[in-house]
Amino acid sequence: MMQILFLGVGEACDPDHGNTSVLLTTGAGASLLLDCGFTAAHRFFAACSDPDRLDAVWISHCHGDHYFGIPLLILRFREMGRRRPLALVGQAGLEEIVRSLMEMAYPGFMVKLGFALQFHETGPEQTLSLAGLRWRTAPTLHSRPNLGLLLDDGSCRLYYSGDGRPGDRVAGLVRDCDLAIHEAFRLEDEVAGHGSIAGCRRLKAGARIRRLALVHLERRVRRKQRQEIGRILDQDPDLFLPEDGDTVSVP
């Protein structure tokens, strides 16, 4: 079983919802943060007071609402006395990016952390094992290179899209997974490089995904088209629109 806490479900500029970020806890007790944007660190620490609880952070791509929260996360861990190593997982170049970001945010801070950062860099359709999980990736169609991530603990399979439309490789990766958390910026495929509710519905049906959570909706769509979205959700009880702070179990 996996436990999911939606720390945020919004897009970069949404004033009412935190940046899309998920805290995942496995049945074996491992804890992962999926993306860490502007608002994610504060939401994480509101939910977790143990500085050694988090095992790993996944960064889907380098847009600010998905990784600009890392300096605060690391700063707060040091302030709280963390001692366990922290794994940071993402695409090639992640270590250089994080170290540059930390130096820009807090110059000279990295030499006095008190705990180790362990970087794991991966690429499209590569596999790694970490925190008792099998990690597999596929590229999505986005304005920056973005990897969708499938996490498998041997009994549960969770997919987290980051940003972007799913292509054929994503459809193959997510087939028969228990839960997909997918970016859906608009109702239809109106914005290049972003997903949609319609696209998520097609992916869910074609890949036989058991449940699918819609996140990262454009803020005006979320507000102005709520009734239409509600009608769509009423047609499929396994398609849902989580709010910040919601929890769900997988399977």
The helix (H) or strand (E) run that includes residue 117 is: strand 117-122
The helix (H) or strand (E) run that includes residue 227 is: helix 226-234
pLDDT of 124 reads: 93
pLDDT(251) > 90: no
Q: Domain boundaries in the chain? A: 2-250
Residue-wise pLDDT for 68-85, tens only, equals 999 999 999 999 999 999
Strand order in the sheet with 31-34: 117-122, 86-91, 56-58, 31-34, 21-26, 2-8, 247-250
Residue-wise pLDDT for 197-244, tens only, equals 999 999 999 999 999 999 999 999 999 999 999 999 999 999 999 999
pLDDT(30) > 90: yes
Say if strands 147-152 and 133-139 run parallel, antiparallel, or are unpaired: antiparallel
Considering the domain 2-250 in this protein, what is its CATH number?
A: 3.60.15.10
Mean pLDDT of 89-97: 97
- Whether the bond between 242 and the residue before it is cis, its omega within 30 degrees of 0, is no
Residue-wise pLDDT for 109-162, tens only, equals 999 899 999 999 999 989 999 999 999 999 999 999 999 999 999 999 999 999
pTM value?
Answer: 0.97
pLDDT(94) > 90: yes
- Average pLDDT over the chain reads 96
* 217 three-class SS: strand
Q: pLDDT exceeding 70 applies to what percent of the chain?
A: 100
Handedness of CA 49, 51, 56, 59 (dihedral sign): positive
At residue 17's C-alpha, the angle toward residues 14 and 22, to 5°, is 120
Residue-wise pLDDT for 44-64, tens only, equals 999 999 999 999 999 999 999
pLDDT(188) > 90: yes
